[in-house]
Amino acid sequence: MRKTNRLAMCALAVAVSCMFAGCTNTAQQAESDDASAQQTVQGGTTPVTADATTLDGIVDAIENDFETTETDITTKLDDVKAKAGGSYADYVENSSMLTDWLADAQAETEALISRTDENAAKYYTLLAQQAPTMDWNDISDSMTAFYRAVYDDAFSNLYRSVYTDAYKNVYRTFYDSVMKDAYNTVSYKEASDAKSSVYRAISDAQSSLYRTISDAQSNTYRTYSDVHSEFYNDNYDLSKVLGD
């Protein structure tokens, strides 16, 4: 039997998917990891679009893309700290490096999200092609696997790695340490103005990054939920949901 207690499951389908990490799809167990295309983005090399031949391969590409982007952003911050974060004099000489990093972290995150949307669409499209011959439980497991890997883990790691940890590092280095040195180097007014300026720049950039990640995660969930509902209703044409 393809579906059990169909009416009861309809109301609970999405909630069940969010609560349980499903068993590995039997069709996916034999799938090997796929190499993903590469592209240079803001000086960092990250996967662009996944090879859409396996579900596992697409998820792997998304996960690798997040990890590579996070590493690139944090590595660039280390360089900024080394050149502009040692003293107020270093900051004055290389202040543009911090400004560039703030903009670059935002740009790389936006590019990552765009690629993730593309790869998510590939995942759902491929699953839609396979779904007519699959048991409902296997379809639901495949949807849950994507939800767990991308919505739960990938976005949570991005938030923690960049929004929380990297920006905490920025505040400690530039707002706390460097600006403290400013009061020992220049006049009180100049140091105070510089500290206020640095705080506003960092705070504004962090707020923008938060909105970007939060909106993207919400959109990821919304699409996941819509696709899940389509599959439950035996509708495998996702053109309306994915906007094709």
DSSP state of 185: T
Neighbours of 34 (CB within 10 A): 16
Give me the percent of the chain exceeding a pLDDT of 70.
Answer: 78
pLDDT score of 126 more than 80: yes
Rounded to an integer, the average pLDDT of 213-225 is 97
DSSP state of 149: I
pLDDT of residue 22: 42
Task: Give the SS3 label for residue 86.
Answer: coil
Give residue 76's Cα distance to chain centre: 18
pLDDT confidence bin for 217, thresholds 50/70/90: very high
pLDDT score of 10 more than 70: no
pLDDT tens digit string along 147-178? 999 999 999 999 999 999 999 999 999 999 99
Distance CA 61, CA 175 (A): 36
Q: What type of residue sits at position 120? A: A
pLDDT of residue 216: 97
pLDDT confidence bin for 50, thresholds 50/70/90: low
pLDDT of residue 13: 40
pLDDT tens digit string along 73-116? 999 999 999 999 999 999 999 999 999 999 999 999 999 999 99
Distance CA 21, CA 16 (A): 9
Mean pLDDT across the chain: 84
Residue pointed to by tokens 């779904």: 131
β-sheet bridge partners, residue 41 = 44
pLDDT score of 19 more than 60: no
In sequence order, which residues have a C-beta less than 8 Å from that of residue 118 and are 6 or more positions away? 49
Distance CA 182, CA 65 (A): 39
